[in-house]
Chains A and B, each alone.
Chain A
Amino acid sequence: MASNGFKDRVAIISMGCTKFGDHWDKSADDLVVDAVDECVNSLNGKLELSNVDAFWVGTQGSGMAGVTLSRPLHVSAPVTRVENYCATGSDSVRNAAYAVGSGAYDVVMAVGVEKLKDSSYSGLTAAWPPSDGTKVDWTAPASFSLLAPAYAKKYGIDEKLMRDVLTHIAWKNHQNGSLNSRAQFRKAISKETIDRSPQIAGQLGVFDCSGVADGAAAAIIVRAEDAKKYCDDPMYVKALSLVSGTGAGLRVSDYDFTSFPEVESSAQEAYRQAGISEPRTEISFAEVHDCFTPTELVLMEDLGFSARGAAWQDVLDGFFDLNGGLPVNPDGGLKSFGHPIGASGLRMLFECWLQLSGKAEKRQLDNPRLGLTHNLGGQPGECVSFVSIVGNQLG
């Protein structure tokens, strides 16, 4: 089950992304219009909305069917609604990219949107089909909190050291987010505050968890050979991979909650497609799914950035800091942006877009060439994992 690869076949020529946060005055429709408008307008008339041949819209629960997009945009066109847990936005990009890459269309658009703040629930919720009521009703922080004690036990890390590692991840992402005008939370948070935050689940405090936010983001994708018709600095897609797991981790006795096998295999697949053998040195920066701090820790190993059992040391060494060897979540991540589910995957690509075209302002990295996005949905033991690799040069 491997892809034939897709390197340099398609390119993103424009993106748009709303500010993420509490949009009390905006509906999902409004957010979609704002993100799409920014995306189209930044092409300065080289392309109009009517030139887009087909659309993919990712949303977990803020709308049903293609009309989620076609109604607010007033377009009558092929629109596919995508849902794939928290990897929803990424999967809308993946499917749109394949459609334009196949030659079926010339110009496609992928949009992600989520309007969470119209409910007053804490954390994320979902509408499940009728069931027998026997599945444990995990909240997201509870299911991801299982990673921390399992990882600490496996690698002999004491509670205090583990706290320092998780705190560093939260501190770094908030630090990065403080430099980003589109982030939900724009304040740097002291390590003391993170350490002392009220407990939510297991060892996870409030600052170990990503927030709940509204937002939308959009991308226009064309075949690579057409890209320069529209812009000077297109972002070429090097790899797209998605793995939906078997759920064995929650049902069979050989998973130890210190990794995501789905992430490991989706990353390997993406590196194969992109021709990358040493991700730690070849990838310039990564936007990863830091839904909870231990998730980011474990991802560093699953994505091959750190050796097994070594990510905690790399975290403490600042290797993933903005000025480190491999900056991770330079835009502030889910920690700073919150997690409007359908929009998050596109938001990650938006940061790649800014960084690779030199528009990331105070967060701008020095001459980045390859960016990686990683998007995760579900829970340890039963999840979907998406990895993309994008670059600003062909070849």
Chain B
Amino acid sequence: MAGIIDIATYVPQGRLKHAEIKELIRTGNGKGERSVMNFDEDSTTMAVEAIRYLDKSSIENAQSLWFSTTSPAYTHKSNSAAVHAACSLPFSISAYDMGQSVRSAFGAFRAASETLGICVCSDSWTGLPGSDEERFGADGSGAISFGNDGESIAVIRNWKSHVIELLERWKIPSDEVVQTWDERFIAEILTPAIRDILGEKATDPRTIVAVSSANNRVPSALSGCSKVITNHELGYFGASDLVFKLHNALMSSTAGDTILLVEVADGLELVELMVTEKIELWKAKVESKRALARKTQEVGYPDFLTWRGRLDRQLPRRPDPQAPAGPPSFRNVKWKFGLSAQKCNNCGIIHTPPEHRCRGCGSIGNFSEVSLADKYGHVVTFTVDRLAFTPSPPMVIAVVDFGNGARSSFEFTDADVSEIAIGMQVEMTFRLINTASGVRNYFWKIRPVVSF
């Protein structure tokens, strides 16, 4: 059977303190915080970010891409295709969106495992100001690459399903707000089913139980299990919560452990995994990356509400941004989505973006691709633009050199303006530049490299 080769999660650096919500609209007890994606992130960009943390060879070997979210950037048009392009996957590798429900995350997991592909789940879980969803929801993404069991950190052993049609959480597409039924109703009717699907194995001391549910009362159904993965301190990650739960389960596992991963949504889905001896290497890798974790950035409640479209603010007196057009976006898809520059095979000069005639030697059609997406650059010069349109002023723009003669200009993101300086090292991140006329304009931005 197939198994997990690598698994990675991404939590945006923004944090909204519950105390901020309590102070402004007097709801909640003011304790704790949630993760908040930046104004230039959405489920698609967070999905890209999570995949970029996966082992490179497991991305190159992936045979398919399955993307699940309840907060899709587009409907009707596939979001997995944008993720696919941003990860520079070959055209022949399939990509599918698993639509709109939390349950679809489990579907993405199962489909990716059966096709030796990548499952990526990404979500922004929120509700109206003052709601439980707003406080206890979180933004983030997770990606899993699957392969043959011989290379896996955990091997899939069994699947179990228990599908029930329930009014638990729902929204008509044109509605703005998710509705929920009384949590006790769901918790109580599902408790026997959860116990039943977990079975006796759950009480085995070598078994780790990880249950993902938006329902805060569900964990009480797990009494008697020997080892239970608790809910994430930042909240419930929607469709990506399953990946966060599994990640934490794997981190607390040792070779030979069984993991029972359960998704609670319109019934139950369960997968049973057996942890292999490769887990120790993987855990060591995660630990070493944890030391390089990005620092968090507090987000004020007014900014949070603005970014979620709940607070309209005065815009600068500048023209609305122009939507990217289809044909040029198609022609330049490798640059726009993959940040793939062009190197002249004759003289070696690099074009950012690709050109028709070589700037160095004048030759035509003798080029190869060179990706800048994983390259570090350094700031040649930069400016803070207080006039430009941005939902999070001021816009900071820098001219960046990549050390191989390539230069281009990018917007900064996830940066403290005061820490930006000429010469500083930057890395690339796939972001939403703006949304204009119903079109999402994706491109790459720069952010400071996490210091070692």
| Residues of chain A having any CB pair with chain B under 8 Å | 120-123, 125, 128, 130-134, 136-139, 141-143, 145-146, 149-150, 153, 199-202, 246, 248, 250-253, 256-257, 381
Task: Say how far B145's CB is from chain A's closest CB, in angstroms.
Answer: 28
Instruction: Judge whether B410 and A251 touch: CB under 8 Å.
Output: no
Interface residue tally for chain B (C-beta within 8 Å): 47
Contacting A at CB under 8 A, from B386-403, are: 386-389, 395, 397, 399, 401-402
Partner of B359, one of A121, A150, A251: A251
B416 contacts chain A at the CB level, 8 A cutoff: no
- In the assembled complex, which residues on chain A have CB atoms less than 8 Å from the CB atom of B336? 132-134
22 example contacts (A-B, Cβ-Cβ < 8 A) are as follows A120-B317, A122-B318, A132-B325, A132-B328, A132-B335, A132-B336, A133-B322, A134-B324, A134-B353, A136-B411, A137-B388, A142-B387, A142-B397, A200-B387, A246-B359, A252-B359, A252-B407, A253-B380, A253-B401, A253-B406, A257-B381, A257-B399
Q: How far is the CA of A257 from the CA of B311 in the complex (A)?
A: 40
Q: Is A257's CB under 8 angstroms from B380's CB?
A: yes
Query: Does B332 make an interface contact (CB < 8 A)?
Result: yes
**Contact A134–B335 (Cβ < 8 Å):** yes
C-beta contact mask, B375-387 vs A, less than 8 Å → 1, else 0? 0000011111111
Contact B407 A250 (CB under 8 A): yes
CB of A256 to closest CB in B, whole Å: 8
Q: Looking at the complex, which one of A128, A134, A136, A149 makes contact with B322 (CB distance below 8 Å)?
A: A128
Task: Check B349 for interface membership: any CB of A closer than 8 A.
Answer: yes
Taking a contact as CB atoms under 8 Å apart, the answer to whether A252 and B328 are in contact is no
B427 to chain A, nearest CB (A): 17
* A202 B384 Cβ-Cβ under 8 A: yes
Please pick, from A122, A145, A250, the residue contacting B317 in the complex, using a CB distance under 8 A.
A122
Known contacts A146-B399, A252-B349: does B384 contact A133 (CB below 8 Å)? no
Asked if A134 and B443 sit within 8 Å, CB to CB, the answer is yes
Would you call B324 and A251 a contact (CB within 8 A)?
A: no
CB-based contact B319/A122 at 8 Å:
no
Within the complex, the shortest CB–CB distance from A333 to chain B, in Å, comes to 21
Q: How far is the CB of B54 from chain A (nearest CB, A)?
A: 25
Q: Does B422 contact A (CB under 8 A)?
A: yes
B439 — nearest CB in chain A belongs to which residue?
A133
Instruction: Quote the shortest CB–CB distance from B285 to chain A (angstroms).
Output: 33
Q: Give the CA-CA distance A110 to B349 in the complex, in Å.
A: 42
Interface SS majority for chain A:
loop
Partner of A133, one of B318, B388, B441: B441
* Residues in B whose Cβ lies below 8 Å from that of A381: 399
- Contact (Cβ within 8 A) A131 B322: yes
Query: Which residues does chain A contribute within 8 Å of B411, judged by CB atoms?
Result: 136
Q: B323 at the A/B interface (Cβ < 8 Å)?
A: yes
Chain A residue at minimal CB-CB distance from B423: A153
Instruction: Give chain B residues whose Cβ lies under 8 Å from the Cβ of A251.
Output: 351-352, 359, 406-408
- Min CB distance, A312 to chain B, in Å? 18
Question: B90 near A: Cβ within 8 Å?
Answer: no
Q: When A136-B410, A250-B408, A253-B401 are in contact, do A146 and B349 touch as well, CB less than 8 Å?
A: no
Contact pick for A142, options B323, B383, B401, B407, CB 8 Å: B383
Give CA–CA (A170, B386) in the complex, Å: 20
Q: For the complex, what is the distance from the CA of A388 to the CA of B381, rounded to whole Å?
A: 31
Contact present for A123 and B407 (CB under 8 Å): no
- Cβ of B405 within 8 Å of any chain A Cβ, yes or no, is yes
The listed residue (A120, A153, A199) touching B386 by CB distance below 8 A is A199
Does B321 reach chain A (CB closer than 8 Å)?
yes
Q: Are B386 and A200 in contact (CB under 8 A)?
A: yes
Report A209 CB to chain B, min CB distance, Å. 9
Tell me the B289-324 residues at the A interface (CB within 8 Å): 316-319, 321-324
Contact with A along B182-213 (1 / 0, CB 8 A): 00000000000000000000000000000000
- Does B433 sit at the interface, judged by CB under 8 A? yes
CB–CB A122/B316 < 8 A:
yes
Q: Are B385 and A139 in contact (CB under 8 A)?
A: yes
**A142 CA to B399 CA in the complex, in Å?**
12
The answer to whether B319 and A125 touch across the interface, beta carbons within 8 angstroms, is yes
A141–B387 touching, CB < 8 Å: yes
Contacting pair A132 B324 (CB below 8 A): yes
Please state if B324 and A253 are interface contacts (CB–CB under 8 Å): no
Q: In the complex, A132 Cα to B409 Cα: how many Å?
A: 15
Q: Which residue of B lies closest to A199 (CB)?
A: B386
Chain A residue numbers with a CB within 8 Å of B441 are 133
Asked whether A139 lies within 8 Å of B323 as measured between CB atoms, the reply is no
B329 at the binding interface (Cβ < 8 Å): yes
Q: Which residues of B contact A199 (CB under 8 A)?
A: 384, 386
Encode contact with A along B47-62: 1 for CB under 8 Å, 0 otherwise. 0000000000000000
| Interchain CA distance A133-B331 in the complex, whole Å | 12
Top 10 nearest A-B pairs (CB, nearest first) are A133-B324, A130-B325, A142-B385, A202-B383, A133-B441, A132-B328, A136-B409, A139-B387, A132-B332, A145-B383
Nearest-neighbour CB distance to chain B for A266, whole angstroms, equals 21
Nearest to A122 among chain B residues (CB) is: B317
Q: What is the bound-complex CA distance between A153 and B381, given in angstroms?
A: 10
Chain A residue at minimal CB-CB distance from B389: A137
Task: Point out the residues of chain A lying under 8 angstroms from B395, CB to CB.
Answer: 142
